[in-house]
């Protein structure tokens, strides 16, 4: 029954999208100055129905209705209700439905929020957005329908991969999708702006908050994903330069470049076509990311059930998107004289954009290179972290310095008056770096440079903060974001340099010593839970230098449905450091592999990222207040 209802609602959605496009075209032709009232109503209906459609699927998951193939393949009746619900978007079909929801709701919100913008611009945005919606709705119907039924109805589902049954991973896809798909709206708006020759500044005004919204969610999505990877995958790292992670990072670079340059467009009416190109690139990269991840072309350690025919459809859709936007761009391009003084805020924003494009290009090349060598030479290769570290880290050092200096420059023509200040900041950064090395442990050359440049950014942003409070010229949003980015790199640098890692193979009852630590494997316990059994280890770590003792309880979980083994890391977090311990068993031998790590300042890495996004929120509030 739910299957029929779901399919009916999908068809209704397609119909409504066509209706919106039809009336929008009619409204474009009419002499009326305002948009037809009924377009609002249909858009609202469209958003409501797509939500109802999604709730139908959620209902199927909650009631464990295995007559739907999708539910059968991804759920199980003994699964906790929370994970039944999150399982809805944990799979390919359900997540595509989520994709369409965001497209539709953003389309409606853009329509009602931008009331003071020109009629044609809004209508064209609506039309382009609805073409995107249709593209994905047809994709769902043809290839990835979550409402397909199965008969005879199975008694029990196959279950969700236990590694995905996790609170962080329950919210990770919706956050990331809000970022990915959120970028669709300024893709549509950019095309609408080209089609209607809309005023460049007004265009910038209408999209700037949408860029920030998608950027915030993208950042949060990536962060939640890495927090999950940190505690669930048991490697103790939080970023692996895996192709799937890279796919989420590519649009992030484009978004970051975009919300910097859109300010130039708004304030100085410059860089219009560059902003348009960035708008188009961002959503294109989002779809590309989805294509790469879902088609199984990328060789990733995160795996998604992949299916080449999915890839083909997305590839076709992607090509149409790319070619039509390139065509339109060339058709509408006109030469405009930009006079930008090389010492001005405009230049510094452009420098930011160069850096972002450099990162983007590096990650793109690193991600796609294996695909090309495979296709051309049939060599299977992989590009790992050493490549990204070698290319990106040295560049970040310079980037941080520009990030400190750039924001204090003036529009149009700048004069450096406070070179003395920067020299002082640089010297204090050097001194602090030296003190860290002196009191704790020597740093590598690269870490030294990273610490110095991040301190440079931190100190100079702190000066800005003090100045902005005393002089009441408050630009908190920027200061908060730049300051927390400085801290982020600072903490990552220290964390990287001071981490300790050690592996042992141990039997119960054994004790191992290394450096000034002692690890005692005290006992093992078997515990039974609702849908899994757990082997819990009891280990004591003593730090002889500081006289600290900690008990850590890593687990090996055995899930029934599907039959899977997972290792749960034991993590003890405090403000200074994380103790991280994983335990694994190899083919029922009496040895357990124990991996112990001490990771300093982990908590502060997460806090810095959240502070970074908080800066984005502040900017949105400020924008809203100014309008």
- Binding residues (CB under 8 A) for another protein: these are 161, 163, 233-235, 296, 299, 301-303, 305, 342, 354, 358, 361-362, 365-366, 369-370, 373, 379-384, 386-387, 390-391, 503-507, 556, 562-567, 582, 584, 586-587, 589, 591, 593, 595
Q: How many CA atoms lie within 13 A of 466 on its CB side?
A: 5
Q: How far apart are the first and last CA of the chain?
A: 48
Considering the complex, what minimum distance in angstroms separates the CB of residue 582 from another protein? 6
228/491 with CB nearer another protein? 228
Complete edge-to-edge strand list for the sheet that includes strand 500-506:
500-506, 592-600, 577-585, 570-573
- Residues 6+ away with beta carbon under 8 Å from 212: 259, 616, 619, 620, 623
296/406 with CB nearer another protein? 296
3-state secondary structure 263-322: HHHHHHCCCHHHHHHHHHHHHHHHHHHHHHHHHCCCCCCCCCCCCHHHHHHHHHHHHHHH
Strand 532-543 to strand 548-552: parallel, antiparallel, or no bridges (unpaired)? antiparallel
Considering the complex, what minimum distance in angstroms separates the CB of residue 441 from another protein? 23
d(CA 221, CA 218): 5
Considering the complex, what minimum distance in angstroms separates the CB of residue 507 from another protein? 8
- Residues 6+ away with beta carbon under 8 Å from 623: 208, 209, 212
143/584 with CB nearer another protein? 584
Among the listed residues 439, 545, 573, 549, the one whose alpha carbon sits nearest the alpha carbon of residue 494: 439
545/588 with CB nearer another protein? 588
Q: How many CB atoms lie within 10 A of CB 331?
A: 9
Considering the complex, what minimum distance in angstroms separates the CB of residue 383 from another protein? 6
Considering the complex, what minimum distance in angstroms separates the CB of residue 335 from another protein? 12
78/299 with CB nearer another protein? 299
234/251 with CB nearer another protein? 234
Considering the complex, what minimum distance in angstroms separates the CB of residue 220 from another protein? 22
Q: Using CA atoms in the order 549, 551, 554, 555, what is the torsion angle rounded to 10 degrees?
A: 170
116/589 with CB nearer another protein? 589
Considering the complex, what minimum distance in angstroms separates the CB of residue 595 from another protein? 4
Give long-range contacts, CB 8 A cutoff, 24+ apart: 112-117. 112/40, 114/206, 117/198, 117/202, 117/206
Considering the complex, what minimum distance in angstroms separates the CB of residue 566 from another protein? 6
563/625 with CB nearer another protein? 563
As given in the structure block, the two tokens for residue 60 are 């199927």
11/354 with CB nearer another protein? 354
Considering the complex, what minimum distance in angstroms separates the CB of residue 82 from another protein? 20
461/582 with CB nearer another protein? 582
Considering the complex, what minimum distance in angstroms separates the CB of residue 593 from another protein? 5
d(CA 156, CA 442): 58
64/593 with CB nearer another protein? 593
379/470 with CB nearer another protein? 379
156/501 with CB nearer another protein? 501
d(CA 494, CA 426): 19
Q: Is the peptide bond before 114 cis (omega within 30 degrees of 0)?
A: no
Which residues on adjacent β-strands are paired with residue 558?
A: 533, 565
CB 215 within 8 A of CB 252: yes
Check residue 30 and report its DSSP letter.
Answer: S
Considering the complex, what minimum distance in angstroms separates the CB of residue 261 from another protein? 16
Considering the complex, what minimum distance in angstroms separates the CB of residue 34 from another protein? 44
d(CA 551, CA 492): 26
Considering the complex, what minimum distance in angstroms separates the CB of residue 389 from another protein? 9
323/354 with CB nearer another protein? 354
Considering the complex, what minimum distance in angstroms separates the CB of residue 591 from another protein? 5
Give long-range contacts, CB 8 A cutoff, 24+ apart: 269-275. 269/200, 269/201, 270/338, 270/340, 270/346, 271/338, 271/346, 271/350, 272/200, 272/203, 272/336, 273/329, 273/333, 273/336, 274/353, 275/190, 275/203, 275/204
């Amino acid at each position: 029954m739910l299957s029929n209802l779901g399919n009916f609602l999908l068809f209704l959605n397609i119909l409504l999208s066509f209706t919106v496009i039809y009336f929008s075209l009619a409204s474009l032709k009419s002499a009326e100055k305002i948009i037809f009232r009924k377009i609002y109503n249909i858009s609202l209906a469209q958003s409501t129905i797509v939500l109802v459609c999604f709730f139908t699927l959620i209902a199927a998951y909650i009631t464990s209705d295995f007559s739907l193939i999708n539910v059968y393949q991804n759920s199980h009746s003994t699964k906790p209700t929370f994970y039944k619900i999150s399982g809805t978007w944990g799979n390919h079909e359900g997540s595509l439905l989520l994709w369409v929801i965001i497209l539709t709701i953003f389309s409606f919100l853009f329509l009602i929020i931008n009331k003071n913008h020109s009629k044609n611009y809004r209508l064209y945005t609506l039309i382009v957005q609805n073409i995107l919606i249709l593209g994905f709705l047809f994709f769902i119907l043809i290839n990835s329908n979550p409402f397909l039924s199965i008969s005879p109805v199975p008694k029990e589902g196959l279950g969700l991969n236990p590694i995905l049954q996790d609170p962080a991973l329950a919210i990770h896809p919706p956050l990331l999708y809000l970022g990915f798909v959120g970028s669709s709206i300024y893709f549509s708006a950019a095309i609408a702006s080209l089609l209607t020759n809309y005023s460049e500044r007004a265009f910038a005004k209408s999209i700037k908050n949408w860029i920030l919204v998608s950027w915030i969610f993208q950042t949060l999505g990536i962060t939640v994903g890495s927090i999950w990877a940190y505690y669930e995958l048991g490697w103790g790292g939080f970023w692996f330069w895996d192709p799937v992670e890279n796919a989420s990072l590519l649009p992030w670079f484009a978004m970051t470049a975009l919300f910097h340059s859109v300010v130039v467009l708004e304030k100085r009416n410059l860089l219009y076509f560059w902003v348009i190109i960035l708008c188009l690139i961002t959503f294109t990269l989002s779809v590309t990311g989805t294509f790469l991840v879902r088609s199984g072309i990328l060789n990733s350690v995160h795996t998604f059930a992949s299916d080449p025919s999915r890839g083909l459809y997305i590839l076709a859709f992607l090509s149409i998107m790319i070619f039509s936007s390139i065509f339109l761009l060339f058709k509408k391009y006109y030469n405009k004289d930009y006079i930008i003084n090389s010492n001005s805020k405009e230049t510094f924003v452009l420098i930011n954009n160069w850096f972002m494009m450099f990162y983007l290009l590096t990650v793109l090349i690193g991600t796609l290179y294996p695909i090309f060598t495979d296709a051309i030479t049939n060599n299977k290769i992989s590009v790992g972290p050493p490549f990204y570290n070698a290319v990106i880290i040295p560049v970040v050092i310079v980037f941080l310095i520009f990030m400190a200096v750039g924001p204090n420059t003036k529009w149009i023509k700048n004069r450096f008056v406070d070179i003395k200040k920067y020299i002082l900041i640089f010297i204090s950064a050097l001194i602090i770096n030296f003190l860290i090395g002196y009191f704790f442990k020597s740093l590598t050359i690269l870490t030294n440079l990273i610490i110095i440049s991040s301190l440079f950014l931190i100190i100079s942003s702190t000066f800005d903060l003090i100045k902005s409070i005393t002089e009441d010229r408050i630009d908190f949003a920027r200061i908060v974001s730049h300051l927390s980015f400085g801290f982020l790199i600072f903490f990552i640098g220290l964390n990287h340099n001071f981490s300790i890692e050690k592996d042992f193979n141990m039997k119960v009852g054994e004790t191992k010593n290394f450096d000034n630590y002692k690890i005692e494997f005290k006992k093992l316990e078997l515990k039974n839970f609702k849908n899994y059994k757990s082997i819990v280890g009891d280990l004591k770590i003593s730090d002889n230098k500081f006289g600290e003792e900690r008990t850590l309880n890593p687990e090996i979980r055995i899930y029934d449905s599907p039959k899977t083994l997972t290792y749960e890391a034991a993590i003890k977090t405090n403000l200074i450091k994380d103790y991280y311990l994983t335990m694994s068993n190899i083919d029922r031998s009496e040895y357990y592999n124990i991996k112990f790590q001490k990771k300093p300042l982990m908590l502060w890495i997460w806090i810095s990222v959240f502070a970074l996004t908080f800066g984005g929120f502040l900017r949105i509030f400020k924008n809203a207040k100014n309008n």
